[in-house]
């Protein structure tokens, strides 16, 4: 084979690799990240050391391949608390709870001591998530001299798109590029969205909240958004800003009026030992006509695994478009969950991405062949 053709083929593969994964600072000028409060921070390169709060955020950093950069975390991000395998190798200071403001003195003092000891610098990254009380902590840390204190609260992460953006931003801060964990998240999101886009008769869904041993109708903005992305008929949706409303009787009334609804129960029920079977007994009186899904704690959280939650939601609602969530699901609940759907659900984003990459390779190789042939004349 002509050496020019061989060289051209190798060049094509190299260019394709660059095309698929381009670092955020590929042009040498670094990158900018805007946090949930609208503040923009410039990075010349990925963060060297990170203080991370929130188990989902800490897991996101670890899955970006940067667990070794985490130097301090909140109590709920520790391996001992979460049990996440990805965090087992993490060697970080436990700063305790970030809920409320009662622990702010200890947090600030500990971080200043870490700076004095050379374990942290004022220019290292601190990521504060979830609690609105972190805005007060931001002010204290900013006034102390820390230059990169990024804040995302429940106010700023109000829908699934915001989760995707935040996960991408945090991953870029940690690694300087969009890692496989985020690429997979984007693929799954597009796969669900594409598959259900032609649905005309939407499957019914209900999110059930569970706290303090009591059930109510869930109205979480993130879960509502995920059901919207999955093109569900959310029978429990309310314009109210409350995360939940009503009681178990409200749940039962909604279900009685909407047979065949797929029920998604908040992860806290599973944490308390609840199962789909116990929910049917406790709430549905043994009725097995309704599919019941106990949510995983990461499925509607601020991490790449939220895409797994979205995919699971989509599979329970439209198994004929996205695949059955478990063997025998169709036999248990029938094929009706996909009724009214168009016949375009077979093409996922993975296939489209592969096709796009192939087109790029073919085009580059073809151009190389032309150049090589001309060079032989």
Q: What is the tens place of the pLDDT at every residue in 79-121?
A: 999 999 999 999 999 999 999 999 999 999 999 999 999 999 9
- Compute CA distances 59 → 89, 232, 236, 268, whole Å: 12, 29, 31, 19
What is the pLDDT, as a whole number, of residue 17?
A: 34
What is the pLDDT, as a whole number, of residue 337?
A: 38
Q: What is the pLDDT of residues 179-216, one digit of tens each?
A: 888 888 999 999 999 999 999 999 999 999 999 999 99
Nearest to 314 by CA among 238, 225, 227: 227
Instruction: Report d(CA 177, CA 8) in Å as an integer.
Output: 27
User: In terms of DSSP bridges, do strands 125-130 and 204-211 run parallel, antiparallel, or are they unpaired?
Assistant: unpaired
Q: Determine contact, residues 50/71, Cβ cutoff 8 Å.
A: yes
What is the pLDDT, as a whole number, of residue 24?
A: 59
What is the pLDDT, as a whole number, of residue 131?
A: 84
Query: Cα(first)–Cα(last) distance of the chain, in Å?
Result: 17
Instruction: Report d(CA 73, CA 51) in Å as an integer.
Output: 6
Residue 353's CB is within 10 A of a number of other CB atoms, namely 15
Tell whether pTM > 0.85.
Answer: no
Average pLDDT across the chain, whole number: 84
Tokens 């004349």, residue located = 377
Phi/psi at 217 (nearest 5 deg)?
Answer: -85, 120
What is the pLDDT, as a whole number, of residue 350?
A: 42
Q: Which residues of the chain have pLDDT under 70?
A: 1-28, 334-377
Instruction: Report d(CA 281, CA 260) in Å as an integer.
Output: 17
């Amino acid at each position: 084979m002509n050496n020019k053709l061989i060289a051209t083929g190798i060049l094509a593969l190299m260019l394709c690799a660059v095309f698929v994964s381009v670092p955020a600072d590929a042009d040498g000028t670094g990158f900018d990240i805007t946090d949930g409060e609208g503040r923009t921070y410039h990075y010349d390169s990925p963060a060297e050391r990170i203080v991370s709060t929130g188990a989902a955020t800490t897991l996101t950093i670890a899955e970006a391949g940067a667990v070794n950069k985490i130097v301090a975390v909140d109590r709920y991000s520790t391996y001992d608390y979460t049990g996440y395998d990805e965090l087992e190798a993490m060697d970080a200071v436990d700063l305790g709870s970030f809920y409320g403001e009662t622990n702010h003195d200890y947090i600030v003092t500990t971080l200043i001591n870490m700076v004095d000891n050379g374990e942290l610098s004022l220019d290292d990254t601190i990521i504060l998530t979830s609690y609105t009380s972190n805005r007060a902590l931001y002010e204290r840390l900013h006034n102390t001299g820390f230059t990169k204190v990024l804040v995302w609260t429940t106010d700023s992460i109000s829908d699934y798109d915001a989760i995707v953006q935040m996960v991408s931003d945090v991953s870029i801060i940690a690694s300087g590029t969009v890692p496989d964990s985020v690429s997979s998240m984007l693929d799954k999101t597009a796969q669900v969205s594409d598959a259900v886009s032609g649905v005309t008769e939407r499957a019914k869904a209900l999110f059930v909240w569970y706290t303090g041993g009591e059930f109510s109708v869930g109205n979480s903005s993130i879960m509502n958004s995920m059901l919207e992305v999955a093109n569900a008929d959310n029978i429990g949706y309310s314009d109210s800003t409350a995360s939940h409303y009503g009681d178990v009787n409200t749940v039962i009334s909604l279900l009685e009026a909407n047979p065949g609804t797929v029920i998604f129960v908040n992860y806290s029920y599973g944490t308390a030992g609840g199962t789909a079977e116990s929910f049917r007994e406790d709430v549905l009186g043994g009725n097995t006509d309704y599919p019941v899904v106990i949510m995983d704690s990461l499925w509607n959280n601020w991490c790449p695994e939220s895409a797994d939650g979205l995919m699971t939601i989509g599979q329970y609602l439209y198994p004929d478009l996205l695949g059955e969530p478990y063997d025998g699901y169709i036999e248990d609940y029938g094929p009706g969950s996909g009724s009214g759907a168009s016949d375009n659900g077979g093409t996922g984003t993975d296939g489209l991405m592969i096709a796009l990459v192939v087109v790029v390779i073919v085009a580059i190789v073809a151009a190389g062949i032309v150049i090589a042939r001309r060079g032989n004349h």
